[in-house]
Amino acid sequence: MAVNSIQDDVAGCFEYYADLAEGLDAKQKAPVSLPMESFKSYVLKEPIGVVALITPWNYPLLMATWKVAPALAAGCAAILKPSELASVTCLELAEVCREVGLPPGVLNILTGLGHEAGAPLASHPQVDKIAFTGSSATGSKIMTAAAQLVKPVSLELGGKSPIVVFEDVDLDKAAEWTIFGCFWTNGQICSATSRLIVHESIAAQFFEKLVQWTRNIKISDPLEEGCRLGPVVSGGQYEKILKFISTAKSEGATILCGGDRPEHLKKGFFLEPTIITDVTTSMQIWREEVFGPVLCVKTFSTEEEAIELANDTHYGLGAAVLSNDLERCERLTKAFQAGIVWINCSQPCFCQAPWGGNKRSGFGRELGEWGLDNYLSVKQVTQYISDEPWGWYKSPSKL
Ligand SMILES: NC(=O)c1ccc[n+]([C@@H]2O[C@H](COP(=O)([O-])OP(=O)(O)OC[C@H]3O[C@@H](n4cnc5c(N)ncnc54)[C@H](O)[C@@H]3O)[C@@H](O)[C@H]2O)c1
Ligand SMILES: NCCCC=O
């Protein structure tokens, strides 16, 4: 499927950073212009040292690659701590690195539970930097641990991203992007656009389209041809998502479609993609990250109201706007409090473009040149180039 090549391009990401690493030497000694002729100055970018890379269970290989490729390209030694729920692909990655001749000790994989393996790694005095991807709650703990040794951190955390749909869209195209933005890989994406904010004048028709598109999603064993939605990752996650849905119902929301186990799948952690309406901004379903196939919906009447609803979250990872009015899209792009904005789409991402969030979605950027900077420290070098003595202690001083 074409989508895999824009999303899961592990090899492409390694190639991209290998190319950037080649250019790194040329970029060394980047001159700094100074206001005094007797000095010249330049900047050296150097590997930050030993880096701890702590990653989540979703997209386990891709999330590891987003850190391992730039860290190695920058010249760091890395310790990768994958999620205890999804370690095997990362062990395979290490095997591939060994096969292609990476020297022993440059990439190390540390498997184990968060509190047993991740926490000691984060607070280890010989770790010079922590690059973390995971939940905001764990991110906060990592930051606390790093603060004890004044260690730099970059944090890629959760989200509750909005998708704003205006009245001038093609309803089918918009419906497809809306359900893809939330249900793709079961909503187990940090940037899932899981809050739909739709113009009230098209809401009724748009809901019909969404339900039609959603009912056409093939839910099955992922190895089955045509599967577009598989099981969620674990029993714990399955129960957590069902609890979100039941809480939404008890708080007065309406389940427009889904909300349960698909009838044809009696076993496994399968859930119907779910759309929830009659949502208020104080409800849990509006405020908290589900990390499952659950879309919640609100309507708006003015652009200002749409922006206010979009930014009504502690998170700030992604945001999407669907409209044929590109000036309006630009206004929303500027107004969104988010690190990633999609216009007339949701979710595509490329390893050349920066990735990361604001607010409680974290800080720092992965991917692109920004991803390399995560693993480099900047050294200023200033040289005295005049033949004259410095002359500070001579009177009158030249300064
Ligand atoms: N912003 C992004 O790019 C991005 C990408 C993918 C996932 N995520 C987020 O990740 C979350 C889902 O992943 P998860 O459930 O694996 O997250 P999590 O926070 O539970 O775990 C992430 C990693 O941290 C480790 N860990 C747990 N406690 C720790 C501690 N005290 N010290 C050190 N390490 C510890 C875990 O073992 C795991 O390896 C969601 O919130 C999702 O939005 C964000
Ligand atoms: N497209 C990959 C997004 C990873 C976040 O969960």
Per residue in 159-195, pLDDT (tens digit) is 999 999 999 999 999 999 999 999 999 999 999 999 9
Average pLDDT over residues 379-397: 91
Residue with tokens 């895999």: 4
Q: Which ligand 1 atom minimizes the distance to the CA of 83?
A: 39
CA 243–ligand 2 middle distance (angstroms): 24
Is the per-residue pLDDT at 78 higher than 90? yes
CA gap 39, 34 in Å, rounded: 7
Average pLDDT over residues 37-50: 95
Q: Which pLDDT score, from 0 to 100, does residue 397 have?
A: 67
- Length reported for the chain: 399
339 ligand 1 Cβ < 6 A: no
293 ligand 1 Cβ < 6 A: no
From 7-11, 172-176, 230-234, 289-293, the region with the lowest mean pLDDT: 7-11
Q: Are 135 and 158 in contact (CB under 8 A)?
A: yes
Helix (H) or strand (E) holding 257: strand 254-257
**pLDDT-derived band at 29, boundaries 50, 70, 90:** confident
Return the DSSP state at 311. T
Question: What tokens were used for 235?
Answer: 């029993």
CA 86–ligand 1 middle distance (angstroms): 12
Mutate to test the pocket of ligand 1, among 133, 138, 190, 233 (most ligand atoms within 8 A of CB): 138
59 ligand 2 Cβ < 6 A: yes
For the question of an ipTM over 0.95, the answer is yes
Q: Which pLDDT score, from 0 to 100, does residue 129 have?
A: 98
289 ligand 1 Cβ < 6 A: yes
Torsion angle, alpha carbons of 64, 70, 71, 73, to 10: 130
Is the per-residue pLDDT at 1 higher than 50? no
Q: Are 8 and 59 in contact (CB under 8 A)?
A: yes
pLDDT, averaged across the chain: 95
Q: Which pLDDT score, from 0 to 100, does residue 22 have?
A: 87
Per residue in 107-151, pLDDT (tens digit) is 999 999 999 999 999 999 999 999 999 999 999 999 999 999 999
Q: Which class for 394: exposed (0-12), middle (13-18), buried (19 or more C-beta within 10 A)?
A: exposed
331 ligand 1 Cβ < 6 A: no
Question: What tokens were used for 184?
Answer: 């793709």
Is the per-residue pLDDT at 2 higher than 70? no
Catalytic residue among 46, 84, 92, 156: 156
Domains and CATH numbers, the chain: 6-157+361-384 (3.40.605.10), 162-343 (3.40.309.10)
Average pLDDT over residues 94-115: 96
Q: Which residues contact residue 56 at a Cβ distance below 8 angstroms, ignoring those fewer than 6 apart?
A: 63, 83, 133, 134, 135
Measured by CA distance, the residue closest to atom 38 of ligand 1 is 83
Mutate to test the pocket of ligand 1, among 133, 189, 291, 359 (most ligand atoms within 8 A of CB): 133
Q: Which pLDDT score, from 0 to 100, does residue 396 have?
A: 77
- Strand 153-156 vs strand 162-165: parallel, antiparallel, or unpaired? unpaired
Is the per-residue pLDDT at 4 higher than 60? no
185 ligand 2 Cβ < 6 A: no
DSSP 23-65: HHHHHTTEEE--S-TTEEEEEEEEE--EEEEE--SSSHHHHHH
Strand-by-strand arrangement of the 77-81 sheet? 107-109, 77-81, 50-54, 129-133, 153-156, 362-363
Q: How far is CA 152 from the centre of its chain?
A: 19
Average pLDDT over residues 200-209: 98
Q: Are 279 and 248 in contact (CB under 8 A)?
A: yes
Q: Is 393 helix (H, G, I), strand (E, B) or coil?
A: coil
Whether omega for the bond prior to residue 396 falls within 30 degrees of 0, making it cis, is: yes
Question: Is the dihedral angle over the CA atoms 313, 316, 318, 321 positive or is it negative?
Answer: positive
Q: Which pLDDT score, from 0 to 100, does residue 26 have?
A: 67
Residue with tokens 């890629």: 156
CA gap 378, 186 in Å, rounded: 40
Average pLDDT over residues 317-334: 98
pTM (2 d.p.): 0.95
Q: Which ligand 1 atom minimizes the distance to the CA of 156?
A: 1
CA 45–ligand 2 middle distance (angstroms): 28
CA 365–ligand 1 middle distance (angstroms): 16
236 ligand 1 Cβ < 6 A: no
Q: Which ligand 1 atom minimizes the distance to the CA of 122?
A: 33
Mutate to test the pocket of ligand 1, among 83, 143, 153, 340 (most ligand atoms within 8 A of CB): 83
Q: Are 291 and 157 in contact (CB under 8 A)?
A: no
Give the amino acid at 48.
I
**pLDDT-derived band at 5, boundaries 50, 70, 90:** very low
Is the per-residue pLDDT at 71 higher than 60? yes
Give the amino acid at 317.
L
Mutate to test the pocket of ligand 1, among 54, 80, 367 (most ligand atoms within 8 A of CB): 54
Question: What tokens were used for 282?
Answer: 């104080």
349 ligand 2 Cβ < 6 A: yes
Return the DSSP state at 313. S
**pLDDT-derived band at 3, boundaries 50, 70, 90:** very low
Per residue in 240-255, pLDDT (tens digit) is 999 999 999 999 999 9
How many CB atoms neighbour CB 58 within 10 A?
21
Q: Is 156 a catalytic residue?
A: yes
